[in-house]
Amino acid sequence: MLKLYNTLTRKKELFRPRKGKKVNLFVCGPTVYDYSHIGHARTYLNFDVIAKYLREKGYNVFYLQNITDIDDKIINRARERKISPQKLARDFEKEYLKDMKGLKIDSVTKYARATEHIKEIISQVERLFKKGFAYQIEDGVYYDISKFKDYGKLSRRTVLQAEDALSRIDEGKEKRNKGDFCLWKISKPGEPKWKSNFVWGRPGWHIEDTAITEKYFGPQYDIHGGARDLIFPHHEAEIAQMEALSGKKPLVKYWIHSGFLTVKGQKMAKSLGNFITIRDFLRNNSPRLLRLLVIKTHYRSPLDYTDNLISQTKRELEKIDEFVGKVKNRVPVGGEGGRRERSSLRPSKFQTEFYKAMEDDLNTPKALAAIFDLINKGNILISQNKLSPTGAKDILAFLRKVDKVFNFIFWKKSKEEIPRALLNLVKQREKYRKEENWRKADEIRRKIKEIGYWVKDTKEGPKIKKV
Ligand SMILES: [Zn+2]
């Protein structure tokens, strides 16, 4: 029974979707004005794992993500670059999707651009006017938070506390309440604008989410996710908009927020010079490493990115790779050929541990611990030559199931990822071959096979292949 921590109730709750096996999941997507950084990668990786896990459990997940392609930041950056906001947004949307693909974040069912849902956004603002929640002043249409008595229920702030230096609150001198947020901005000359019955302008940030989710999911749905800095005011505003519009609550049954990523204890910031884009990371490291690095921390815990963490994670990845190689080696091609059973190692115990951890609010570090436990026990058996082909097959089947969710174990490796130890062995073997020391060369071929690779000698030199 899956339990999820719900920010709305501050409790772990049994997960029960609104309608049978159908799960409607919405996660705040990027504002496409720059390259995404590893903090974004963490958030989207966490929700990728959540979506994949729910699908593995047999849920029919509709994973919807918005793309904020109209926003102050986009307009300002486009002006700096002397290109249109639309061109800038399209370019960085492409880069974002490229990054997601590179990290195998492939669980999103639909990406929805804000600018392609203007009709729905305008309709929401109009309805908020009619219901008395919206008012227009000099620079736009605002939401009157004093009219919505549940305002603050997600972030547990009161209306009076609805301001601080960190939160992105819209300015506007004539606002009725300090915490009122913008629904529709009146465009300044030269800015993109759309026609509405009230005034020409462009959408505020919060309204695009509810307009998009209302279109695809209706007024209520199962899970809303995002990084925890979006709780206030962004997600609070979404509740205020949609619950005021529909009169139905809750807008979202489970609010799930992922933890922050810091770099060496500090918040990532361009001014601090510790800003790491996904592109930067992938220049020196494999995408598999980032997946493992994120998965080994619980999605709600803070993650501090350090050199130490990277080297530790690299060692763990190598350990997993070597183990998988050795286990594959134990499975003979074309069945087991009636060999005598030699081991009692069955992955079922580890499997139970794995799922127990995952069911407990997706405790991925604990789930990984079960896998490392299996690896340690398995390695002992292998070193004693006691792992049977059936045992090996069962282990691989289990790891493949795990990988449907974690998605980093069975990737085809790029050249850089071939362990250094292996490259050294291949070099040594070449030396013996040149010396025509076939006995030594064969011995090394066996060692290479032990760690899961085949060497094939070709005219162009030795070729390495995964077993
Ligand atoms: Zn959002």
310-314 mean pLDDT? 97
Q: Which residues have a Cβ under 8 Å from the Cβ of 30 and sit 6 or more positions away?
A: 36, 40, 67, 68, 92, 96
Ligand 1 centroid to residue 113 C-alpha, Å: 12
Ligand 1 centroid to residue 210 C-alpha, Å: 9
333-349 mean pLDDT? 61
Ligand 1 centroid to residue 35 C-alpha, Å: 18
Ligand 1 centroid to residue 235 C-alpha, Å: 7
Ligand 1 centroid to residue 238 C-alpha, Å: 8
Q: What is the pLDDT of residue 342?
A: 57
Burial class (CB in 10 A: 0-12, 13-18, 19+), 342: middle
Ligand 1 centroid to residue 208 C-alpha, Å: 8
Ligand 1 centroid to residue 323 C-alpha, Å: 41
Ligand 1 centroid to residue 424 C-alpha, Å: 50
**Nearest-5° angle of CA 436, CA 437, CA 439?**
135
Q: The tokens 């019955």 sit on which residue? A: 197
Tell me if the bond preceding 233 is cis, omega within 30° of 0: yes
Q: What is the pLDDT of residue 50?
A: 98
Q: What is the pLDDT of residue 338?
A: 47
Ligand 1 centroid to residue 184 C-alpha, Å: 15
Ligand 1 centroid to residue 277 C-alpha, Å: 21
- Tens of pLDDT, residue by residue over 181-206, are 999 999 999 999 999 999 999 999 99
402-416 mean pLDDT? 83
> How many residues comprise the chain?
467
Three-state SS annotation for the chain: CCEEEECCCCEEEECCCCECCEEEEEECCCECCCCCEHHHHHHHHHHHHHHHHHHHCCCEEEEEEEEECCCHHHHHHHHHHCCCHHHHHHHHHHHHHHHHHHCCCCCCCEEEEHHHHHHHHHHHHHHHHHCCCEEEECCEEEECHHHCCCCCCCCCCCHHHCCCCCCCCCCCCCCCCCCCEEEEECCCCCCCCECCCCCCEEECHHHHHHHHHHHHHCCCEEEEEEEHHHHHHHHHHHHHHHHHHHCCCCCEEEEEEECCEEECCEECCHHHCCCCEHHHHHHHCCHHHHHHHHHCCCCCCCEEECHHHHHHHHHHHHHHHHHHHHHHHHCCCCCCCCCCCCCCCCCHHHHHHHHHHHHECCCHHHHHHHHHHHHHHHHHHHHCCCCCHHHHHHHHHHHHHHHHHHCCCCCCCCHHHCCHHHHHHHHHHHHHHHCCCHHHHHHHHHHHHHCCEEEEEECCEEEEEEC
Ligand 1 centroid to residue 206 C-alpha, Å: 6
Q: What is the pLDDT of residue 346?
A: 76
> Which two structure tokens, joined as six digits, stand for 209?
């989410």
Percent of the chain with pLDDT over 90: 79
Ligand 1 centroid to residue 32 C-alpha, Å: 13
Ligand 1 centroid to residue 29 C-alpha, Å: 6
Burial class (CB in 10 A: 0-12, 13-18, 19+), 159: middle
The CA–CA distances, whole Å, from 311 to 261, 316, 329, 412 equal: 17, 9, 27, 21
Q: What is the pLDDT of residue 414?
A: 56
Q: For residue 140, which phi and psi values (nearest 5 degrees)? A: 165, -170
Could you give the count of Cα atoms lying within 13 Å of 405 in the half-sphere of its Cβ? Answer: 23
Ligand 1 centroid to residue 214 C-alpha, Å: 13
Ligand 1 centroid to residue 236 C-alpha, Å: 11
> Which of these, 180, 228, 185, 235, lies nearest to 206 by C-alpha position?
235
Q: For residue 160, which phi and psi values (nearest 5 degrees)? A: -65, -30
Q: What is the pLDDT of residue 458?
A: 83
Q: What is the pLDDT of residue 341?
A: 52
Ligand 1 centroid to residue 282 C-alpha, Å: 26
The CA–CA distances, whole Å, from 370 to 18, 176, 394 equal: 32, 55, 15
Ligand 1 centroid to residue 350 C-alpha, Å: 38
CA 133 to chain centre: 35
120: number of Cβ within 10 Å: 20
Ligand 1 centroid to residue 378 C-alpha, Å: 45
- Tens of pLDDT, residue by residue over 317-335, are 999 999 999 999 888 765 5
367-372 mean pLDDT? 98
Average pLDDT, the chain: 92
Ligand 1 centroid to residue 173 C-alpha, Å: 25
Ligand 1 centroid to residue 165 C-alpha, Å: 20
pLDDT, greater one: 271 or 452: 271
pLDDT at 310 over 60: yes
For residues 115 and 285, what is the distance between their CA atoms, to the nearest angstrom?
35
Q: What is the pLDDT of residue 337?
A: 47
Q: What is the pLDDT of residue 235?
A: 98
Ligand 1 centroid to residue 117 C-alpha, Å: 14
pLDDT band for 344, please (50, 70, 90 cuts): low
336-360 mean pLDDT? 78
380-399 mean pLDDT? 93
- Tens of pLDDT, residue by residue over 113-126, are 999 999 999 999 99
Q: What is the pLDDT of residue 160?
A: 53
Ligand 1 centroid to residue 278 C-alpha, Å: 21
pLDDT at 162 over 60: no
Ligand 1 centroid to residue 421 C-alpha, Å: 46
Q: What is the pLDDT of residue 163?
A: 56
For residues 168 and 28, what is the distance between their CA atoms, to the nearest angstrom?
15
pLDDT at 99 over 50: yes
One-letter amino acid of 51: A
Residues 71-87: b if buried by 16+ CB within 10 A, e if exposed: beebbebbeeeeeebee
This prediction has a pTM of 0.87
Ligand 1 centroid to residue 314 C-alpha, Å: 33
Ligand 1 centroid to residue 252 C-alpha, Å: 13
Ligand 1 centroid to residue 231 C-alpha, Å: 10
pLDDT band for 345, please (50, 70, 90 cuts): confident
Ligand 1 centroid to residue 269 C-alpha, Å: 21
pLDDT at 339 over 60: no
Ligand 1 centroid to residue 463 C-alpha, Å: 49
Terminus-to-terminus CA distance in the chain, angstroms?
37
Percent of the chain with pLDDT over 70: 93
Could you give the count of Cα atoms lying within 13 Å of 460 in the half-sphere of its Cβ? Answer: 2
Ligand 1 centroid to residue 93 C-alpha, Å: 16
pLDDT band for 165, please (50, 70, 90 cuts): very low
Q: What is the pLDDT of residue 336?
A: 46
* In contact, 15 and 6? CB cutoff 8 Å: no
Ligand 1 centroid to residue 233 C-alpha, Å: 10
Ligand 1 centroid to residue 172 C-alpha, Å: 21
The CA–CA distances, whole Å, from 447 to 442, 444, 450 equal: 9, 5, 5
pLDDT, greater one: 284 or 37: 37
Ligand 1 centroid to residue 15 C-alpha, Å: 22
